[in-house]
């Protein structure tokens, strides 16, 4: 049981129709590891600046997130600023200050090397190799990406797709990478590009999972007041991979359950700004919502 | 067991990214009754002109659709022309020739008066009263609407919402009527406006069903080659109401099954232009896809 998450731990400034928050804690690695912490003891590889709040690190530790791979460097923490429109699927990046993340060349602690699952969250695909060389031979290699790399690193991205097992993309990214407008066609095209599992996330509409046994969909939990969609995708990945890390075999059934847990964790994340919801979220709430998903999907 | 569908039987000229068809048979009543015919013997109240093909009427009869309420009038059949963009959720009405539909004042055959379920498909809400006076006391009154009536007959529409049981709307219509951008909020707002059940259809993303027992979602069958989305919503209503008409009690479970059948029937409709798919669709195909939905929703 070991999941290593390589991603960003950052500050976000976020504006949604429900308000604005300045420099709150965010980052793909943060969301993903908090979500995964409900299933396993995730290990994180990331970098922050000296300005990063110690109480957040203490909180992550209290949630069983292993921080040996988190480097604290002189300088300022990665800071992203984004704005969501009334249609929460539309988001604009206002500013990106890479800061200490700019020359992030992750050093993976030796203790992490035998990881069973490795997740590369939104990293520059050119850096994957440097990271993966530091692992022995993960049973499952997963990655996510962002529009920036699709536009600027297409070749490296396509190369990385060929060697991974699980690819997470949102609908827009799936369309951009595959060149297919129809999402079902897009998902199938992604499979032909390498991964054995492609997870296409659709925000409020749930997700489609494409794999060797065909396609299945998972719904999103109906949420009337989406406070802040930031981190929903990373939380999905965390719930998904966290569950897969705790089960002995990745059967079709467990992959389905993993996707439902992904949707469950994402549904909590959007209920508050940043990682706010995780501060109080209890395992029994996660299980209760999972059971609700099961109840509502049986007919 | 009796479902009466009051709607249009029409000609459609349709352009989608996959082709163009001139004056093919369409209409809300046609799609809805064909879909419902897999579960019950739907009765239709509609009007066509003398130009309407007899072989289509023969086909409807062969599918157990009761045509006593279908009037053939001197003049031309209602003709709608529409165009879909690459994003198939976007459709533009190019032309609407009401023809014999312009002064459609439906006369409901006496034999239909004791109907258990009455469905008013996209009718001018000002005409509902005239129609409903001709029925005894249906156990279930359902309606759908279109943007035209939301824009031009808002008051009448809101009045009709107060007296119906089931309201079908697509996502755009639900938002326009309720004034809520969030679909969950929109669906809940619709319930407060009268109906005890609101079905919000989301095209490729399935549907959300709002009722006294809460909200549940149904997925859409993943379709890689959507040929023509026309009639998907009416087919959903037909599958939904057709199933409810054949079960003795409308329990939460049966409502869920009805929604899945709605999704199943809609998924067949979009596989061909117009009613093309219905020409060959067999009950065992419907049941097979239903079982597939069930299999893919269990985890």
pLDDT tens string A199-209: 999 999 999 99
Asked whether the predicted pLDDT for residue B219 surpasses 90, the reply is yes
How does A185-201 read in b/e, with b if 16+ C-beta sit within 10 Å? bbbbbbbeebbebbbbb
Cβ-nearest to A216 among B183, B217, B296: B296
Q: Using CA coordinates, name the residue in chain B closest to A253.
A: B299
pLDDT tens-digit series, residues A28-64: 999 999 999 999 999 999 999 999 999 999 999 999 9
What residues of A are in contact with residue B205 (Cβ under 8 Å)?
A: 202, 205-206
Quote the distance between the C-alpha of residue B221 and its chain's center. Answer: 18
* Residues on chain B touching A183 (C-beta within 8 angstroms): 204
Residue B297 to residue A297, Cβ atoms within 8 A: yes
Which residues from chain B sit within 8 angstroms of residue A172, using beta carbons?
Answer: none
- pLDDT (mean) for A170-186: 96
pLDDT band at B90 (very low <50, low <70, confident <90, very high): confident
- In chain A, helix, strand, coil percent, each to 5? 40, 25, 35
Task: Name the CA radius of gyration of chain B, rounded.
Answer: 18
Quick one: average pLDDT of B200-207?
Answer: 96
| pLDDT for A292 | 96
Pairing of strands A91-97, A166-170: unpaired
Burial of A252 (0-12, 13-18, 19+ CB in 10 A): middle
Question: Could you say which DSSP state residue A169 is in?
Answer: E
A296 to B223: CB separation less than 8 angstroms, yes or no: no
Q: What is the pLDDT of residue B67?
A: 98
Kindly report the nearest CA distance between residue A143 and chain B, in angstroms: 24
pLDDT at A73 over 90: yes
Q: Which of B198, B217, B261 to mutate to test the interface with A (most CBs of A within 10 A)?
A: B217
Chain A residues inside the 8 Å CB shell of B206? 205, 217, 219
Which pLDDT value is given to residue B87?
84
A49 vs chain B: nearest CA distance in angstroms? 38
In angstroms, the CA B110 to CA A107 distance is 81
Residue in chain B closest to A296 (alpha carbons) equals B216
Cross-chain Cβ contact A224/B188 below 8 Å: yes
- Residues in A touching B223 (Cβ below 8 Å): 182, 184
Asked if B183's CB is within 8 angstroms of A204's CB, the reply is yes
Each residue of A227-265: pLDDT tens digit?
A: 999 999 999 999 999 999 999 999 999 999 999 999 999
CB B86 to CB A181 under 8 A?
yes
B102 vs A39, more confident: A39
Q: What is the mean pLDDT of residues B277-290?
A: 98
Whether residue B247 has pLDDT greater than 80 = yes
The helix/strand/coil state of B49 is: strand
Reported as a single tens digit per residue, the pLDDT across B147-200 is 999 999 999 999 999 999 999 999 999 999 999 999 999 999 999 999 999 999
Determine the Cα–Cα distance for residues A236 and A215; give it in Å rounded to an integer.
18
Percent of chain B with pLDDT over 90: 95
What pLDDT is attached to residue A264?
98
Question: What's the full length of chain B, in residues?
Answer: 299
Smallest CA–CA distance, residue A76 to chain B, in Å, is 37
Element (H, E) at A289: helix A283-297
Q: What is the tens place of the pLDDT at every residue in A256-293?
A: 999 999 999 999 999 999 999 999 999 999 999 999 99
pLDDT at A90: 86
> Which H, E and C letters describe B115-176, residue by residue?
CCEEEECCCCHHHHHHHHCCCCCCCEEEEECCHHHHHHCHHHHHHHHHHCCEEEEEHHHHHH
What pTM was computed for the model?
Answer: 0.94
Which of A84, A207, A225, A299 would best serve as a mutation to test chain B binding (most B beta carbons within 10 A)? Answer: A299
Asked if residues A190 and A169 have their Cβ atoms less than 8 Å apart, the reply is yes
State pLDDT tens for residues A76-125: 999 999 999 988 888 999 999 999 998 888 999 999 999 999 999 999 99
What rounded mean pLDDT belongs to chain B? 96
Q: What is the ipTM of this complex?
A: 0.90
pLDDT at B88: 87
Residues of A in contact with B297 (CB under 8 A): 297-299
């Amino acid at each position: 049981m070991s999941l290593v998450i390589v991603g960003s731990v950052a500050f976000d400034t976020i504006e949604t129709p429900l308000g604005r928050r300045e420099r709150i804690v965010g980052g793909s690695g943060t969301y993903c590891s908090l979500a995964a912490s409900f299933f396993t003891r995730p290990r994180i590889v990331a970098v922050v600046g000296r300005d990063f709040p110690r109480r957040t690190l203490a909180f992550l530790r209290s949630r069983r997130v292993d921080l040996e791979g988190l480097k604290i460097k002189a300088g300022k923490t990665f800071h992203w600023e984004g704005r969501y429109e009334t249609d929460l699927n539309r988001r604009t990046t206002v500013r990106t200050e890479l800061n200490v993340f700019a020359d992030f060349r992750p050093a993976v602690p030796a203790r992490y090397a035998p990881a069973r699952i490795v997740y590369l969250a939104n990293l520059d695909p050119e850096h994957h190799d440097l990271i993966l060389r530091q692992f022995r031979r993960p049973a499952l290699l997963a990655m996510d990406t962002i529009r920036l790399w699709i536009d600027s690193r297409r070749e490296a991205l396509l190369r990385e797709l060929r060697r991974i097992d699980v690819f997470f993309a949102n609908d827009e990214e799936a369309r951009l990478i595959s060149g297919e407008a129809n999402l079902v066609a897009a998902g199938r095209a992604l499979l032909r590009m390498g991964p054995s599992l492609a997870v296409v996330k659709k925000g409020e509409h749930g997700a489609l999972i494409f794999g060797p046994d065909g396609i299945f969909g998972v719904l999103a939990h109906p949420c009337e007041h989406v406070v802040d969609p930031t981190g929903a995708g990373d939380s999905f990945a965390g719930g998904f991979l966290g569950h897969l890390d705790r089960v002995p075999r990745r059967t079709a059934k467990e992959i389905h359950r993993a996707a439902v847990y992904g949707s469950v964790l994402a549904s909590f994340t959007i209920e508050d700004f940043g990682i706010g919801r995780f501060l109080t979220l209890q395992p029994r709430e996660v299980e209760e919502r999972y059971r609700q998903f099961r109840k509502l999907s049986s007919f």
